[in-house]
Structure 1
Amino acid sequence: MNLTCRHLPGATLIAVAGQVDTTTSAQLEEYIDQHRARLDEHLIIDMSELSFLDSSGLAVLLAAAMLARAHGVGVHVTGLQAMPARLLEITGAERAVTIYDHVEQAIAAVADLDLVNPSEPA
């Protein structure tokens, strides 16, 4: 698994490549926790290079979505390949996140959300 992070206005963008399973899901969770700039910023997760996601990785994604929702923001998932997309679909987890085809769409949507609902400074 390979992880990269980029901070954007109002959001943290994390790209996940490879596979997320029981051997790597804790690493993903720790990476998200360490690299999120603020809890009241949106989290964009680019999964365009993620070929496999198991239930432990799904649990990390759902925990991030619950935390984001508690702080008035969301988790935005982009570039889902067939297998991870199917897992989100059959588990109903797709309702906990917002899904976009491309990372640029998520970035634009977050920018629009921030214009409508600007967050208070921490």
Structure 2
Amino acid sequence: MPLLDLSFEQLPGVTVIAITGEMDATNRGQLESYLEERGPDLREQVVFDLAGVPFMDSSGLHVLLACAAACDERGGAARLAAVQSLPARLLEITEVVAYVPVHPTVADAVAAASAVARNMTARAPD
């Protein structure tokens, strides 16, 4: 079973989760466990850095979509960033891009997520 390399960075209002490796059925459980144990506050903005993911099948996509749905339910949002060509094709075929924002770079995704987080903080009741 090929393992994924997973890491996260907590920024104000934004969690960046970097994934490296092929995302498929053999390591789906690893990603799910990681998100449950060390994952983001789903009320915040989450950016998945996919620059190190050369391949993703429907199993990997399912985990990302489940996280995005959980974020949405709790008032947060998920974004995908730096998607390579094969995973980008999967996102295009499945029309995920209509539901989850996809950004060309992690910096672009973090900037967009940070802007949303700042707006949410500014609107929060005292």
The reply to whether TM is greater than 0.5 is yes
Pairwise CA RMSD of aligned residues?
Answer: 1.6
Please show how residues 58-69 of structure 1 align to structure 2 within 5 Å: 58-69=61-72
Pick aligned residue for 2:45 from 29, 42, 45: 42
Please show how residues 1-122 of structure 1 align to structure 2 within 5 Å: 1-118=4-121
Q: What is the TM-score normalised by the length of structure 2?
A: 0.89
Q: 1:25 to 1:70 in 2, by over 3 A?
A: same
Q: What is the TM-score normalised by the length of structure 1?
A: 0.91
SS of the aligned residue for 2:9 comes to strand
Identify the range of structure 1 (33-42 vs 19-28) with the bigger mean alpha-carbon deviation: 33-42
TM-superposed CA distance for 1:42, in Å, is: 1.2
Contact 2:78–2:100, Cα closer than 8 Å, also in 1: yes
Greater share of strand residues, 1 or 2?
A: 1
Distance 2:80 2:12 in 1: 17
Tell which structure's C-alpha radius of gyration is larger.
2
Task: Give structure 1 stretches of 5+ with no counterpart.
Answer: none
Distance 2:63 2:99 in 1: 12
Task: Give structure 2 stretches of 5+ with no counterpart.
Answer: none
SS of the aligned residue for 1:117 comes to helix
Distance 1:74 1:81 in 2: 21
Aligned length: 121
Q: Which amino acid aligns with 1:47?
A: L
1:33-70 per-position Cα deviation (integer Å, ceiling 9, x unaligned)? 22234220111100011011001111101101110110
TM-superposed CA distance for 1:76, in Å, is: 0.9
